[in-house]
Chains A and B, each alone.
Chain A
Amino acid sequence: MNKKIYIPVIALVLLVIVIQLIIHASDAAYYLTQLTMSAYYVLVVIGLCLLMGYAGQISLGQAGFFAIGGYISAVLTTYNLLPYSDSGIIKFFSKLRMVIERQDLYGNRLLSFSPWVGFFAAVAITVIIALLIGIPVLKLKGHYLAMATLGFGLIIYRIVLGTAIFGEADGVSDVPGFVLIPACALEVNGSISLRIQNYYIAWFIVILGMIISVNLIHSRVGRALRSIHGSEDAANAMGVNISKYKLYTFILSAVLAAIGGVFLTHYNGSIGPSEATSMKSIRYVAIVAVGGMANIWGTLIMGVLLNFLSLRGYFGTYDDAVFGAIFIIIMLFAPQGLLKISQLQKICTYFKSRNKGHERASP
C-alpha cells in the first residue's frame, strides 16, 4: 500500500481549514456560502472525472442524476403526510422514526419523511436507474454514448418539468434542513448561524469522496479502468471484465452526483428544474476537461474555482457562454487540461531537487 497517495488528501484537509481560518480572520465569512455550494458540485465532477478520465466513458447526463437525488429527497421531505397520519403504514414509519413532524415558518404543521429516508431512497433509486441505463448504454462508444446519456439527461429534465409532484417549472421549495446527527446538532442547513458548520460538513463529504476515489484509482480497479481507457479490446484480451468495471464506475459517478444533489437541496432549501438542464451536464464535462480529464485533483480545483466564480455571479450574463468557451479553448489548445499531472510533477521534482527533505505536494 502506497501511503504517498494520501499526501494530497492531507494537503486538502489542511487547505480547507486554512481557507476557513483566513476567511474568518478577514471578516468575509459570507464566502463560505458559495464555497459550501461549490463543494457539493465538486462531488458531481469527481464522479464524472472517474468515469471520463479513468474509465474513458463520457456522460452528458450527470445533471440528470444530480436532479434525481435532489428531487427525490426534496419531495420525500416536503410531501405532507398529515392526512394519512392515521393509516397503519405511516404509524409504523413513525415508530421507526422515519417520519417526523415539524412546523414551517408560517406555523403550519407538516408530517413528512426524515431526510435520512430521503437520502437512502435517493441513493437507492439512483443506483437502480444507473444500472438500468448503464447496462445497455455502456455498450455504446464515443459519440453514441454521449448522445445516449444526453438523451437520458433531457428525459429527466422533461419529467421534472412536466410532473406536478416535482413542482413543474417552479421546482420544490420549503425543503427542511438535513439533521445528520441529532445528538450533536449537526445539520445541513443554509441559515447563517450554521455557516461554518456546513462548510466543514460539505468538505468532509468531499474529502470522503476523494479518499474513495484516490483509493479506487490506485487499486487494481483503477489500473483496469485505465487499461479500458487505453484500449478496450486490449483490456478485454488481457482478461479485464470491461463491462463490469465500466458499469461500476458509471454507478459510482451517478451516486456521487445524487449525493451532491441531496445535500445541496437541503442546504439551499429548494431545487428547481435548472439543475436538470443539459447545460448543467455540459458544464460538469467542461470542468472535468479543464481540470485535465484523468486528473482528479485538477478537477477538484477547477470544480471549486469555476463553480465559486459562477455562483458569486462574476460571469454575469455570460455565465453559460464562459463554460462553453472554456470547453472549446481547452479542447483546441490544451486537451489534457490546464493542470496537467506531468507538469505538476515536473514542478514538484524541481522543488524536491532544490530542497531535499521538504516534501509538499501541491494538489
Chain B
Amino acid sequence: MKLTRIIILCTAIAVLLAVLLTIGGCKKKPAIERAPIKVGAILAVSGGASFLGAPEAKTLEMIAEEINAEGGINGHKIELIIKDSQGSSEKAISFAKQLIEEEGVLAIIGPSTSGESMSIKNICEDAKTILLSCAAAETIVNPVAKYVFKTPQKDSYAVISIFKTMKKLGISTIGVVVGNTGFGKGGKDQLEKYAPEYGIDIVISEVYDRAATDLTGVLTKIKAKDVQALVNWSIVPAQSIVAKNMKQIGMDIPLFQSHGFGNIKYVEAAGKAAEGIIFPCGRLLVADVLPDGHPQKAVLSKYKNDYETKYNEDASTFGGHAYDAFMILVEAVKKAGIEKENVRDAIENMSGFVGTGGIFNFSPGDHNGLDLDSFEILTVKEGKFVLY
C-alpha cells in the first residue's frame, strides 16, 4: 500500500519533469538559412468561442504550410506559434506576454473574441508588437492604437447595409428580435443607433433566450404591431426557429437576419421557411456565384477551395478573417522586410489589398481598412445563398 503510493508519486513527478524537459528542449531549434519569421496567434481553438477560433487556427496552419512549401517569404520561413486561449482573457494576457517577450514574435494574429482583444490591446501597444485582431468590436481600433489592427468588418456596417436595403424596399416600420448574447445585444444597440438616420422606426424590440426552442409567443406580439419587416440578430440556432415560427403563424413580412446567418446549416434547419431571408455578409459564402470580373473572386475561390479540400468542411467567414490577417502581414513583409517598425508602416499604408472580407485600405486614422462595400446583401433561394 505504502509502496504503491510512493510509486504513484514518483511516476507523477517523473512524467511532469519529462513533459517540462521536452517542451523546454523543443524551443532551442538550430537556425536555418535565413532567420525564420515568428508569427504568434492567440485563438479560441476550444471552448465556447471555438466556432471562431477553430477555423481560424486551421486557416493559419494551412497558409503557413503553403508559404513554407514555396520557400517562405523572401527566403524567410514562417514559424507559426498558435496558442489556445479558450476564449479567456487571462490566458490571452499570459500568452501575449509569452509571445512578445520569449518568442519575440513579429506580430500576433487574433484573439478571436473582442474581450480578449481589448485585454491585450494595451500590452501590444506598450511592447510595440503588431496585433492583427480577428474580433469584431469597434473599440479595438477606436481609439486607434499605433500597433493594433483588425480584419473583420464593423458591426455597424452590417446594420447600415440592412437599413439601406430596407429603404430601397420602402420599409419604414420594423420589429427587432435579438438573442440574449453579447452579439445580440451589440446588434440591438447598433440598430437603435442608426435607425433614425435612415428614417426607420423600430416599433417593437424583444429579447429572447439563446436556448429558446419556440418563439411563437414573441412573434405573435410582433405580428400584432403590424410592422413591415422583422430583424433578427443572433448567432444561435434560434435564427432558423424564427423563420419557421413566422411561417407557422402566418407572418409573411420580409425577415432580415444578421451576418451571423452566414452558415448553410441554419438554412438547412429552417428548410422551406428560409427562402427569401435577407442578410448582409462577406462575399465568401457566394464566391461561386460572384461575377467573374469581381476583384475578390479569385482570392475567395482559392481560399474556399483550399480550405475545403484540405479540411473537408465548409469554409466560414471567421476563418476568412484570419486569412486576411495573415495575408496582410505576409504582404507587408514582402514589401518592407522583417523589421517590425517597417512592417507596421507598410500595413498602415497598405491600400487596395484584396482579402476575403473586402478590399482593405488602411490609413493612420483607420486600422480596419474596410468600408461599407465589404458587405454584400444575400438571400436564400432554393436552399442556397445567392446575391440579393
Point out the residues of chain A lying under 8 angstroms from B143, CB to CB: 106, 108
Is A334 part of the contact surface with B, judged by Cβ < 8 Å? yes
CB within 8 Å for A105 and B94 given contacts A170-B115, A270-B89, A313-B83: no
Enumerate chain A residues within 8 angstroms of B115, measured Cβ to Cβ.
167, 169-171, 173, 272-273
Task: Please indicate the chain A residues that have their CB under 8 angstroms from the CB of B8 in the complex.
Answer: 333-334, 338
Nearest-CB residue, chain B, relative to A315: B84
Task: Write out, one digit per residue, whether chain B residues 167-197 have a CB within 8 A of any chain A CB (1) or not (0).
Answer: 0000000000000111001000000000000
Interface string of A282-319 (1 = CB under 8 A from B): 00000000000000000000000100001111101101
Is there a chain B Cβ closer than 8 Å to A53's Cβ?
Answer: no
> B144 contacts which chain A residues (CB < 8 A)?
106
Indicate if the CB atoms of A30 and B122 lie closer than 8 Å.
Answer: no
Contacts of A108 in B (CB 8 A): 143
Beta-carbon nearest neighbor of A319 in chain B: B86
A233 sits at the interface (CB 8 A): no
A contact residues around B137 at 8 Å (CB): 170
- A215: chain B residues within 8 A (beta carbon): none
Minimum Cβ distance to chain A for residue B355 (Å): 25
Task: Tell whether, in the assembled complex, residue B118 and residue A105 are in contact, meaning their CB atoms are under 8 Å apart.
Answer: no
Query: A272 — nearest CB in chain B belongs to which residue?
Result: B89
Query: Of residues 5 to 35 in A, which have CB atoms within 8 Å of B's CB atoms?
Result: 30, 33-34
Asked whether B86 lies within 8 Å of A169 as measured between CB atoms, the reply is no
Evaluate contact between B182 and A106: CB separation under 8 angstroms: no
Residues of chain A contacted by B20 (CB below 8 angstroms): 314
Asked if B91 is at the interface of the complex by the 8 Å CB criterion, the answer is yes
| Interface residue tally on B, bucketed by range | 35 or more
Chain A residues closer than 8 Å to B46, beta-carbon distance = 317, 319
Decide if A259 is an interface residue (CB 8 Å cutoff). Answer: no
Residues in chain A near residue B116, CB distance under 8 A: 272
Number of interface residues of A (CB under 8 A): 43
Contacts of B84 in A (CB 8 A): 313, 316-317, 319
Pairwise interchain contact B5-A334, C-beta atoms closer than 8 A = yes
Interface string of A256-288 (1 = CB under 8 A from B): 000000001000111111110000000000000
Q: Do the beta carbons of B182 and A169 come within 8 Å of each other? A: yes
Q: Would A34 and B123 count as touching, CB distance under 8 A?
A: no
Give the chain A neighbours of B101 by CB distance below 8 A: 30, 33, 192
A interface: dominant SS:
helix
A174 within 8 A of B: yes
Query: Contact partner of B98 among A161, A170, A269, A313, CB < 8 A?
Result: A313
B160 at the interface (CB under 8 A from A): no
Given contacts A272-B88, A317-B84, contact A173 B97 (CB under 8 A): no
Give B8 Cβ to nearest chain A Cβ, in Å.
Answer: 7
Q: Write out the residue numbers on chain B whose beta carbons fall within 8 Å of the beta carbon of A338.
A: 8-9, 12
Q: How far is the CA of A170 from the CA of B185 in the complex (A)?
A: 12
Within 8 A of A (CB), among B1-45: 5-6, 8-9, 12, 16, 19-20, 23, 45
CB distance from A305 to the nearest CB of B (A): 8
Is B127's CB within 8 Å of the partner chain A?
A: yes
A162 within 8 A of B: yes
* Chain A 79-91 near chain B by CB (<8 Å), digits 1 or 0: 0000000000000
- Could you tell me if B125 and A270 are in contact, using CB atoms closer than 8 angstroms? no
Q: Contact string, B355-382, partner A, CB cutoff 8 A, digits 1/0?
A: 0000000000000000000000000000
Known: A33-B101, A34-B94. A274 touches B180 (CB 8 A): no
Q: Which residues of A contact B88 (CB under 8 A)?
A: 272, 274-275
B95 contacts A269, C-beta separation under 8 Å: no
In angstroms, how far is the closest chain B Cβ from the Cβ of A194? 12
Residue A232 lies at the interface, judged by CB distance under 8 Å to chain B: no
Interface string of A325-363 (1 = CB under 8 A from B): 000000001100010100100000000000000000000
Extra inter-chain contacts (14) besides given A34-B98, A313-B83, A313-B95, CB under 8 Å: A33-B94, A37-B90, A106-B143, A106-B145, A173-B89, A173-B119, A269-B122, A270-B118, A272-B90, A272-B119, A274-B86, A274-B89, A274-B90, A314-B23
**Using a CB–CB distance below 8 Å, which chain A residues touch chain B?**
30, 33-34, 37, 105-106, 108, 161-162, 167-171, 173-174, 190-192, 264, 268-275, 305, 310-314, 316-317, 319-320, 333-334, 338, 340, 343
| 7 A/B residue pairs, CB under 8 Å, sorted by A | A169-B113, A171-B118, A173-B89, A313-B94, A319-B84, A320-B47, A343-B5
